[in-house]
Amino acid sequence: MAEFTLELNDDQKQVRDWLHGFAEDVMRPAAAEWDEREETPWPIIQEAAKLGIYSLDFYAQQFFDPTGLGIPMAMEELFWGDAGIALSIVGTGLAAVGVLANGTEEQIGTWIPQMYGDVDDVKVAAFCSSEPDAGSDVASMRTRAVYDEAKDEWVLNGTKTWATNGGIANVHVVVAVVDPEIGSKGHASFIVPPNTPGLSQGQKFQKHGIRASHTAEVVLENVRVPGHCLLGGKEKLDERLARARERAKSGERVKNAAMATFEASRPAVGAMAVGTARAAYEVALDYAKTREQFGRPIIDNQGIAFQLADMRTQIDAARLLVWRASWMATAGKPFTSAEGSMSKLYASEVAKKVTGQAIQILGGNGFTREYPVERMHRDAAIYTIFEGTSEIQRLVIARTLSGMPIR
């Protein structure tokens, strides 16, 4: 187990500088265009694939970094470039992680390569969990998966929403209810292969921010997938359901697996927020040093200088919380105080605040699309919503501190 450190090693610094160069030279010049177009930036994803950034190998290397800092470092640099484009690049990773966490070796080897495609024909994947009536409340999920034993097929019906890459993905990973009697413990995940009949894209959302990332509903109407598309296999599922039913009969409370998974992944979202906040702060700092009013740079005014001091302090504090939680997760240390939710809560709130302050420092210019802080402020709004709202984070933290179950 690596000791916790705030100093990146030479390899990490090299990766950080490489990603920063891509974010600065490729993502930033295209950010405004793809924000306006509200379309998936396929040429940039392809460029990322050519460089090795858009690949399972790259994310696996960062994920297995023994210090735990690989993923947050990568997320911060990419989202410093542009949040919408960055989410288009990393969104496939949500589905890939779902397969890695729950799939067999054969499923991992079969489906993850199809999620990414290759440099000449890049693909994306979608992870479909949220529903119109089941976002934070995963126990209210209505999408059903029924096993057709005669054909060894699962039949999926329901509607998913807020799915990154939903409908345009080559491979969809869908969470569905297989046993509604035991609530969230009766869920399972399924691979829906390319061109499977019955899966269609519903509404594509026109969003306030992260507009270069495709977000849509996914409609499942009698979608039939082979038995081998159940992640982990039916034998493993039957064993898990049997244990959950016995615990339900005995009245034993079982920790919600989905909530536990989100808790472990939340530091990565916090790192995304840190990247966006840092980007807006740097624009505001440069502007304050060059913009003159009353014969001097506006950073000489205490009102501006103190805002910038607070912005930088809060960004650094957010990064420290993210790095601590990321190291703890890699080191196998339990989040006894919901440190994962702490990092996501604080970093996301900082991103909203700092990007708003950046607009204020730029004044009228900050309110226009001529400067990027307006876009960054719109992008930052998502961090307090997805992967659990700020209110859910506070609930998780409070229940963890009090010893109450997280449901």
DSSP H helices, 291-338, are 302-331
DSSP 205: P
Neighbouring-strand partners of residue 219: 159, 200
* Pairwise CA distance, residues 261 & 326, whole Å: 13
DSSP 130: -
Rg for the chain, CA atoms, rounded:
22
**Which one of 7, 339, 387, 391 is the catalytic residue?**
387
3-state SS assignment for residue 53: coil
φ, ψ (nearest 5 deg) of residue 189: -115, 140
* Pairwise CA distance, residues 385 & 392, whole Å: 9
Give the amino acid at 57.
Answer: D
Give the amino acid at 36.
Answer: E
- Reply yes or no on whether 387 is catalytic: yes
Centroid of chain to Cα 4: 24
Judge residue 306's burial from the number of C-beta atoms within 10 Å of its C-beta, 0-12 exposed, 13-18 middle, 19 or more buried. Answer: exposed
Whether the CB-CB separation of 76 and 275 falls below 8 Å is answered with yes
Which residues are part of the catalytic machinery? 387
